């Protein structure tokens, strides 16, 4: 990744020097872990650096950093939650379907990506989309399974498709 920023390097290094320790402390309070806080503080500054947008006039640098850090945090928690769900799902899969460790990790990466693309859609919309497009179920079968009408299934496919096929995949970029 090439890092270019509309803000000059000086602005950023000042921002870093003045507020990085504060940000780390702020993140530590949220996370309860020093190492995680340091990592996420780093991620936050990386986002600032790689942003193509001009930095706002930084009268309130901490408010600005907090906004970005909030996004980094919510992404982090989202990923944690997904990993948790994933591990539970793996544990519940029938034993003859055991996956190798490598397959597990690659599947998780694919799921994180897919999850981002489906981000924000209601669960029923996601399920209708996955059942029809991933599993190749018919509209009627899907409707039965989800307890909704065929018409609604079709609407859900269009809705999920607009976001998945045509929406931005890089959600949450600043």
Partner 1 sequence: MLFRFDRRGPYLMAAATGSAPIPKAVAQQALEWLVDLQSTPRPPKALENFQRWRAQHPDHERAWQRIEAFNGQLQDLSSPVHSAITHATLAHPATAKRRRAVKTLAVLIFASGAGWMVQEQTPWRRWSADYRTAVGERRKVVLADGTQVILNTNSAVNIRFDAERRLVDLIAGEILVTTAKDRQNSPRPFLVQTRHGRARALGTRFSVQQLDDATCVKVLHSAVEIAPVSGSPTLTLQAGQQARFTASTILPVLPVSEGSTAWTDGFIVVLGLRLDDFLADVGRYCSYALSCDPAIAGRRVSGSYALADIDKLLDTVSAMLQLEQEIITRFWGRQVTGIRLRPRSRIS
Q: Residues in the site for partner 1, rule: CB under 8 A?
A: 82, 85-86, 88-90, 92-100, 102-103, 105-107, 109-111, 113-115, 118, 123, 126-127, 130-136, 138-140, 154, 157-158, 161-162, 164-166, 168-170
Residue 50 Cβ, how far from partner 1 at the closest point, in Å? 15
Q: Which is nearer to partner 1, 24 or 126 (CB)?
A: 126
Q: How many CB atoms lie within 10 A of CB 160?
A: 23
Q: Which is nearer to partner 1, 28 or 159 (CB)?
A: 159
Distance CA 69, CA 145 (A): 40
Residue 109 Cβ, how far from partner 1 at the closest point, in Å? 6
33: alpha, beta or left? (left if phi > 0; alpha if psi -120 to 50): beta
Residue 35 Cβ, how far from partner 1 at the closest point, in Å? 24
Give the dihedral of Cα atoms 29, 31, 35, 41; nearest 10 deg.
-80
Instruction: Fill in the DSSP letter of residue 148.
Output: S
Residue 42 Cβ, how far from partner 1 at the closest point, in Å? 20
Distance CA 13, CA 40 (A): 17
């Amino acid at each position: 990744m090439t890092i270019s920023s509309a803000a000059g390097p000086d602005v950023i290094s000042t921002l870093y020097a003045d507020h990085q320790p504060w940000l780390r402390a702020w993140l530590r309070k949220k996370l309860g872990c020093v190492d995680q806080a340091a990592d996420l503080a780093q991620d936050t500054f990386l986002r600032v650096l790689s942003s193509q947008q001009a930095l706002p006039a930084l009268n309130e640098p901490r408010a600005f950093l907090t906004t970005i850090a909030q996004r980094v945090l919510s992404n982090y928690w989202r990923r944690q939650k997904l990993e948790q769900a994933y591990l539970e799902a793996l544990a519940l899969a029938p034993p003859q379907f055991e996956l190798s460790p490598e397959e597990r990790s690659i599947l998780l990466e694919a799921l994180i990506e897919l999850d981002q693309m489906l981000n924000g859609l209601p669960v029923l919309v996601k399920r209708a989309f996955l059942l029809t497009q991933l599993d190749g179920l018919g509209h009627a079968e899907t409707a039965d399974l989800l307890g909704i009408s065929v018409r609604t299934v079709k609407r859900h496919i269009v809705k999920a498709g607009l976001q998945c096929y045509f929406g931005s995949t890089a959600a949450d970029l600043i």
